Structure 1
Amino acid sequence: MPLDLEEQEHLDNFKDFWKKYGKLLTGLLTAILLAYAGYSGWQWWKNNQAMEASKLYGTMLSAVGKGDKEQIFRAVDDLQNQFGRTSYAAMSGLVGAKVAADAGDTAKALSYLRWTSTKATDSAYAGVAKMRLVAQLIEQGGDAAITEADQLLKEKPVSGFEALWIERRGDWYLSQQKIAEARTNYQTAWKMMLQAKELPDESRRLLKVKLDAVGGV
């Protein structure tokens, strides 16, 4: 059926438009499709990573229940090496560090805490790891450990950990027999903790013991 003049005009206009902008539109459509495919692939990859990491984390918890340190450490290493961008890697680092410290393997405990404090994708896990790392370095003592703890404490604290950060600085001063400085930091941390209702009561009780030991409020 032949086109009437109006339909022919629309067709000619469309042909002109496509001749001018067809390649651009095709390129844009291709880019959109590739972006969507990339996003879908990324989501699949993340979900798959999380699923596999969850299974391995479960294996690690089972090993904790059995007291199998070798399997625990193997699982932690695999989680950090293969699934480092998942929260399970950070959680396993904290668990592995505790198991290693209890077993007297300070080097391994510090290694797990260093990894978690710098590579955890969740700032809360990074903050907890950094607090534990500083505490363990102070407990270990020695020039290298004390210097590393000092450098860590000079960094900006993770949000929500400010009071605990100042308390750790007090611990650092106390380890150096600087009682006045330790007391000042403990007092500051105490005032902040009284306002930080989200912190557990145990944190306040522990700080109060330290504060009383250096002269109280």
Structure 2
Amino acid sequence: MSDHLTEEEQVENLKRLWKEYGTTIIASVAVATSAYFGWNYWQQSEQQRIAQASDNYEQLMASATSEASGEESEATTAHLAGQIKDSASDSAYAINSAFFAAKAAVENQDLEGAETQLNWVLDNSEDAGFQQLAKIRLARVLAAKEDYDAALALVSDTPAKGFAAEQAEVRGDIFNFKGDKVAANQAYNQALENLDTDQQQRNVVLQMKVNDTKPAATEPSA
């Protein structure tokens, strides 16, 4: 009889525990299941998103290197870049597509379009290298628009690692456009000082710019 009562007590205990904690157990299982399937769904969606961005990027590359007319190539490149930026703005595909779209715009004399693309990079990338490259290219675009002060502002801060020579050269070009040969010469010399020793071709070009902006020698007084 005692064994039978023990079994009844166990059943009652189980009923009591289920009544007290059953809802919590069910909810916990539901949350865990939902999280599992939600994670799988997110992963699949993320893979599809990046895969689509990759496909669009391949099409963009094909457009950027095609022999289509300037306006047609620029329009296609800008359209594909827009799709990538809308769907995968946090990816390297989006940043690189904006650079390609800016390049196509410059080649088609669309400076406003190039400015828009490069500003998008500045607003959406946290990578120091991408930021610096966008500033340098945007400075050239603004200089072409004769907005020299805004262009200089982009290349007058401390450069990111590896960009000191390029930034100084761009600054020299802008000063040269403004007619300030002295400041241009100083910037070109700074670029030479920061140039890697293996960049012989750049060295030759920069030396030519230094010579072109060198102050004329004054005649000695009699």
Q: By the TM > 0.5 criterion, same fold?
A: yes
> Which residue number corresponds to residue 21 of structure 2?
none
> Which residue number corresponds to residue 151 of structure 1?
153
> Which residue number corresponds to residue 177 of structure 2?
175
Paired with 1:184 and 1:37, the residues of 2 have a C-alpha distance of 62
Q: Once the 2 structures are TM-superposed, how far is the Cα of residue 42 of structure 1 from its aligned partner?
A: 6.3
Q: Please tell me whether the aligned partners of residues 105 and 113 of structure 2 are also in contact (alpha carbons under 8 angstroms).
A: yes
Q: Please tell me whether the aligned partners of residues 113 and 132 of structure 1 are also in contact (alpha carbons under 8 angstroms).
A: yes
Please tell me whether residue 96 in structure 1 is matched to residue 101 in structure 2.
Answer: yes
Change (3 A) 1:189 1:39: farther
> Which residue number corresponds to residue 92 of structure 2?
87
Q: Please tell me whether the aligned partners of residues 87 and 121 of structure 1 are also in contact (alpha carbons under 8 angstroms).
A: no
Structure 2 unaligned regions, length at least 5: 4-23, 216-222
> Which residue number corresponds to residue 140 of structure 1?
145
Tell me whether 59-68 or 82-91 shows the greater mean CA deviation.
Answer: 59-68
Change (3 A) 1:206 1:80: farther
Q: Deviations over 1:114-160 (max 9, x none)?
A: 2123423543333222211111211221xxx2222122123442222
| Matched-pair identity in % | 21
Paired with 1:146 and 1:156, the residues of 2 have a C-alpha distance of 19
Please tell me whether residue 189 in structure 1 is matched to residue 191 in structure 2.
Answer: yes
Paired with 2:99 and 2:158, the residues of 1 have a C-alpha distance of 21
Q: CA RMSD in A?
A: 3.7
Q: Once the 2 structures are TM-superposed, how far is the Cα of residue 53 of structure 1 from its aligned partner?
A: 0.8
Change (3 A) 1:167 1:48: same
Paired with 2:207 and 2:49, the residues of 1 have a C-alpha distance of 43
TM-score by length of 2: 0.69
Paired with 2:188 and 2:38, the residues of 1 have a C-alpha distance of 51
- Structure 1 runs (4+) greater than 4 angstroms displaced: 36-46
> Which residue number corresponds to residue 206 of structure 2?
207
Paired with 2:155 and 2:137, the residues of 1 have a C-alpha distance of 12
Q: Please tell me whether the aligned partners of residues 89 and 120 of structure 1 are also in contact (alpha carbons under 8 angstroms).
A: no
TM-score by length of 1: 0.71
Q: What SS is found at the alignment partner of 1:212? A: helix
Paired with 2:82 and 2:152, the residues of 1 have a C-alpha distance of 28
Change (3 A) 1:191 1:155: closer
Paired with 1:187 and 1:206, the residues of 2 have a C-alpha distance of 12
Q: Which has the larger radius of gyration?
A: 2
What is the aligned length?
196
Change (3 A) 1:202 1:132: farther
The aligned amino acid for 1:211 is V
Paired with 1:122 and 1:61, the residues of 2 have a C-alpha distance of 22
Structure 1 unaligned regions, length at least 5: 3-22
Of 98, 107, 111, 2:112 maps to 107
Q: Once the 2 structures are TM-superposed, how far is the Cα of residue 194 of structure 1 from its aligned partner?
A: 4.0
Please tell me whether residue 128 in structure 1 is matched to residue 127 in structure 2.
Answer: no
Change (3 A) 1:37 1:183: farther
